[in-house]
């Protein structure tokens, strides 16, 4: 009989007891189970398995959220920026997620969500065992780990606390966390969390962001059909994207509605109505840009970034509510005004611009060089030879060169509107394309350009404050100014004419350069003009030269507009602000802001300047305003040398607004009278005011500038500028401070002083 054991030496076996004992012991050992024969190895393996198990459990639970995290979940929330009239202007986010309460979510959305994602939601304790078992069978069959069995609670756990990776470890953590969530929160609270964190595609998290992105609505405005479409996105937002795949999205929506009908949560009538409802998505163009006020929103973001360290918030994650001063209705009117004017104005300029002149070819070559150096491929090049090769390709690329030409000759604008009594920035546009922050430059705030004649009111303000009346006359004669380097400055009037005398009112109304220059030389010293301008809100450097009377100092639209607001606000400067208050995600106040206010002019001086600036619009260089806008208004045009920059700054009793129009490349100029402030900039201002005052929802009243008690009106002789008598054949009405009213004309003199008429150039 054979076996696996060797046979003993029979003689020795029977005669040697020790041999027999050892042989029996070995045979017995060989017939024992392996784990008894190798008990040390077995024990070691058991201990190792136990240790690995303990380590895995520690590892598994170490990745779970803490009790504090479960009780106080902090998903990354987008910060919302609100206009003063309650519109959401934009959001700052890393994850675009906005928070709403369950009461703000339509019941139809909840019904659709539960029907499609978790039918046993109200009956399970975080895990649907039946679904898990079925899914495990599928997973083992396919030898992979896939989703499909997660409950709403598990999805909350995954989105709030865990990662999106597919692994057995993550699934176990997800299940444990789901059970903990169910123990911590009510079903309603879990639903609310889910509706605020679910991903709906296109960078949107939560129903609030999704409703706004796809339908430009708030959640409580969603229809059954729209709710079904959003729920249908959840398994595959890119797959069912209604913008890119409308037919696929519609089929998915219909499936959701059908399931809701099968589940008995909607009626046949609701099913039919929802299925037949046409899908109206938000306009595709709108969601591709950054809102109606992109430059203002970016301006606010910069301010918030400066405040973040002081107040300890994160504008991209904390879900702040930022309430701003901008009026969305006025912003829309500003956008319309800019687009209407510049579309035709750009075309007119293009028809006059010629790239083939020697000077313009030089401009183009420099522009091409700048754009080549800014090109991504050029900046990433690793050697001079590679850069030269890229440069050669680009300069010979017709598409690239044409784009450089287009951008170089693009007429740009900066527009800003402010409430002069509160300092609230009501509207802001930073480029000719009011819909985007193209090229990143906010021309309402970040550029500084020569202001031209728009600076002249500061000169006349000093003269008025020094006791000179609007009727005070100055010589309209050539002036020669000796400069420090033995050079001479010979300012002229825009049309080259001169002669006789003109009042300050006429000088401002007709924008007569020589009157402004004589004013700064004779009755409004340069140092005083600079001091007044700075008090009124000009923060840019103003060089101490008489040429500032003609606007050679470089200013931003924001500062010159706020300075004009002093006239509108009866002599009180109010610092412009853009943010009213900041609240956290729960509505608790973090900070609020009020502007600094300072009386910098007397009411009388402010009113006299307003009265003079009204004449600019009613009969002077700004008379074109009356083609659009016929309400009380005051303002001033500005045109710089060679028609490089065009300005119009003006105000009503309610709004101060400023417009700059020009080019980013300052070598490009209008080159003709189209570059006047009255043609290039003023129409934007006038259209804006027309649209705002005609908007019944805004409801601005027609008010007049209020005259202070100690301002008097007198009929004066046009020849002597004294109070007229019956001897004066030519008269007009003028306003004065009571203390500076002129004497009565005792004998009318019709002849002017001949020696003053004959006086030639004056040297200072």
Instruction: State the DSSP code for 627.
Output: G
- Burial of residue 417 (CB within 10 Å: 0-12, 13-18, 19+) is buried
- Give the C-alpha separation, 51 to 201, whole Å: 44
- Give the C-alpha separation, 689 to 652, whole Å: 9
- Give the C-alpha separation, 112 to 723, whole Å: 83
- Give the C-alpha separation, 480 to 486, whole Å: 12
Write down the domain spans for the chain: 10-62, 95-287, 711-763
Residue 350 near residue 109, CB atoms below 8 Å: no
Instruction: Please give the pLDDT value at position 117.
Output: 86
Residue 450 near residue 554, CB atoms below 8 Å: yes
Instruction: Please give the pLDDT value at position 593.
Output: 96
Closest CA to 228 of 252, 203, 199, 197: 252
**pLDDT, averaged in runs of 10, over the chain (764 residues):** 54 69 62 56 65 57 54 69 93 72 92 89 77 58 52 78 52 73 85 86 84 89 95 89 90 94 92 91 56 91 89 87 97 96 91 91 93 86 88 92 93 96 97 68 93 96 94 91 80 85 94 95 96 96 94 96 97 97 93 95 96 96 95 95 92 98 91 83 97 96 93 86 81 86 67 48 65
Residue 297 near residue 435, CB atoms below 8 Å: no
The topology (CATH level 3) of 95-287 is: Penicillin binding protein transpeptidase fold (1.10.3810)
- Give the C-alpha separation, 237 to 205, whole Å: 11
Residues 180-221 pLDDT 10s: 788 888 889 888 888 888 888 887 888 988 998 899 888 999
Most distant CA atoms of the chain, gap in Å: 170
Secondary structure of 106-174 in the HEC alphabet?
CHHHHHHHHHHHCCCCCCCCCCCHHHHHHHHHHHHHHCCCCCCCCCHHHHHHHHHCCCCCCCHHHHHHH
Instruction: Please give the pLDDT value at position 92.
Output: 81
- Give the C-alpha separation, 149 to 172, whole Å: 12
Q: Is 642 left (phi over 0), alpha (psi -120 to 50) or beta?
A: left
Closest CA to 542 of 524, 560, 554: 554
Residue 471 near residue 583, CB atoms below 8 Å: no
Instruction: Please give the pLDDT value at position 621.
Output: 94
Alpha-carbon distances, residue 571 vs 253, 349, 599, 608, 653 (angstroms): 61, 39, 6, 11, 13
- Give the C-alpha separation, 202 to 213, whole Å: 8
230-243 residues labelled b (16+ CB within 10 A) or e (exposed): bbbbbeebeebbbe
* Helix intervals (H) in 375-469: 376-380, 384-395, 398-408, 456-465
Q: Secondary structure of the chain: what % helix, strand, coil (to 5)?
A: 50, 15, 40
Instruction: State the DSSP code for 673.
Output: G
Closest CA to 244 of 193, 191, 287, 293: 287
Q: What are phi and psi of 628, to 5 degrees?
A: -120, -40
Q: Is 349 left (phi over 0), alpha (psi -120 to 50) or beta?
A: alpha
Instruction: Please give the pLDDT value at position 227.
Output: 95
- What is the rounded (10 degree) CA torsion for 606, 611, 616, 619? 180
Instruction: Please give the pLDDT value at position 169.
Output: 60
In the sheet with 412-418, reading across from the earlier edge strand, the strands are 425-429, 412-418, 656-662, 646-651, 634-639
- Give the C-alpha separation, 510 to 519, whole Å: 15
- Give the C-alpha separation, 175 to 168, whole Å: 11
Instruction: Please give the pLDDT value at position 63.
Output: 52
Instruction: Please give the pLDDT value at position 687.
Output: 97
Residue 428 near residue 296, CB atoms below 8 Å: yes
Instruction: Please give the pLDDT value at position 475.
Output: 93
Q: How far is CA 220 from the centre of its chain?
A: 26
- Give the C-alpha separation, 247 to 240, whole Å: 9
Instruction: Count H helices and E strands in the chain, helices first.
Output: 30, 24
- Give the C-alpha separation, 500 to 473, whole Å: 10
Alpha-carbon distances, residue 320 vs 98, 212, 310, 536, 590 (angstroms): 10, 18, 15, 34, 9
Instruction: Please give the pLDDT value at position 368.
Output: 93
């Amino acid at each position: 009989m054979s076996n696996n054991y060797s046979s003993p030496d029979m003689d020795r076996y029977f005669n040697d007891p020790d041999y027999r004992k050892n042989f029996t012991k070995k045979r017995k050992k060989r017939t024992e189970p392996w784990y008894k024969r190798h008990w040390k190895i077995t024990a070691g393996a058991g201990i190792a398995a136990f240790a690995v198990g303990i380590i895995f459990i520690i590892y598994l639970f170490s990745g779970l959220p803490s009790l504090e995290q479960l009780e106080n979940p902090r998903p990354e929330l987008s910060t919302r920026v609100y206009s003063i009239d309650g519109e959401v202007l934009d959001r700052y986010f890393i994850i675009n997620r906005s928070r709403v309460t369950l009461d703000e979510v339509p019941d139809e959305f909840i019904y659709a969500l539960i029907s499609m994602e978790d039918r046993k939601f109200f009956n399970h304790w975080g895990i649907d065992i039946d679904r898990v078992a079925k899914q495990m069978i599928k997973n083992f069959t396919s030898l992979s780990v896939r989703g499909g069995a997660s409950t709403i609670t598990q999805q909350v756990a995954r989105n709030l606390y865990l990662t999106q990776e597919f692994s057995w470890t993550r699934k176990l953590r997800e299940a444990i966390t789901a059970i903990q969530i169910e123990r911590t929160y009510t079903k309603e609270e879990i639903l609310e969390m889910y509706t605020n964190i679910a991903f709906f595609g296109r960078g949107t998290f939560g129903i609030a962001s999704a409703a706004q992105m796809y339908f430009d609505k708030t959640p409580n405005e969603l229809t059954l059909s729209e709710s079904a479409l959003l729920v249908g996105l959840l398994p595959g937002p890119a797959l069912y994207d209604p913008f890119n795949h409308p037919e696929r999205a519609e089929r998915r929506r219909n499936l959701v509605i059908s399931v809701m009908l099968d589940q008995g949560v909607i009626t046949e009538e609701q099913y039919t109505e929802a299925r037949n409802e046409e899908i109206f998505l938000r306009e595709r163009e709108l969601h591709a840009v950054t809102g109606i006020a992109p430059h203002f929103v970016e301006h606010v973001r910069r301010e918030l970034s400066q405040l973040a360290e002081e107040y300890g918030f994160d504008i991209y994650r904390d879900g702040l509510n930022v309430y701003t001063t901008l009026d969305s209705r006025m912003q829309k009117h500003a956008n319309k005004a800019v687009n209407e004017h510049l579309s035709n104005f750009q075309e007119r300029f293009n028809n006059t611009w010629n790239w083939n002149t020697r000077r313009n070819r030089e401009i183009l070559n420099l522009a091409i060089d700048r754009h080549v150096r800014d090109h991504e491929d050029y900046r990433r090049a690793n050697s001079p030879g590679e850069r030269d090769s890229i440069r050669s390709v680009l300069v010979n690329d017709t598409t690239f060169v044409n784009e450089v030409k287009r951008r170089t000759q693009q007429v740009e604008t900066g527009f800003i509107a402010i409430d002069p009594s509160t300092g609230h920035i009501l509207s802001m546009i930073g480029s000719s394309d009011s819909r985007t922050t193209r090229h990143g430059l906010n021309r309402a705030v970040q550029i500084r350009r020569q202001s031209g004649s728009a600076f002249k009111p500061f000169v006349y303000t000093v003269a008025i404050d020094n006791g000179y009346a609007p009727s005070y006359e100055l010589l309209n004669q050539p002036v020669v100014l000796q400069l420090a380097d033995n050079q001479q400055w010979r300012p002229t009037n825009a049309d080259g004419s001169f002669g006789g005398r003109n009042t300050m009112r006429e000088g401002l109304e007709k924008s007569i350069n020589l009157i402004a220059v004589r004013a700064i030389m004779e009755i409004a010293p340069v140092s005083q003009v600079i001091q007044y301008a700075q008090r009124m809100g000009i923060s840019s450097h103003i060089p101490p030269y008489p040429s500032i009377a003609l606007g050679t100092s470089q200013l931003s639209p924001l500062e010159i507009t706020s300075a004009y607001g002093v006239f509108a606000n009866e002599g009180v400067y109010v610092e412009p602000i853009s943010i009213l208050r900041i609240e956290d995600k729960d509505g608790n106040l973090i900070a609020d802001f009020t502007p600094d206010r300072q009386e910098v002019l007397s009411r009388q001086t402010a009113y006299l300047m307003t009265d003079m600036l009204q004449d600019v619009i009613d009969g002077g260089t700004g008379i074109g305003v009356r083609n659009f806008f016929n309400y009380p208004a005051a303002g001033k045009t500005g045109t710089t040398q060679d028609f490089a920059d065009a300005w119009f700054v003006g105000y009503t009793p309610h709004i101060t607004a400023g417009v700059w129009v020009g080019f980013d490349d300052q070598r490009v100029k209008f080159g003709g009278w189209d570059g006047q402030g009255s043609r290039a900039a003023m129409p934007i201002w006038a259209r804006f005011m027309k649209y705002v005052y005609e908007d019944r929802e805004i409801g601005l009243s027609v008010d007049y500038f209020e005259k202070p008690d100690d301002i008097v009106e007198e009929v004066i002789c046009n020849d002597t500028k004294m109070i007229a008598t019956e001897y004066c054949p030519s008269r007009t009405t003028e306003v004065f401070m009571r203390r500076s009213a002129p004497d009565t004309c005792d004998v009318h003199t019709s002849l002017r002083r001949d020696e003053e008429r004959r006086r030639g150039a004056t040297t200072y």
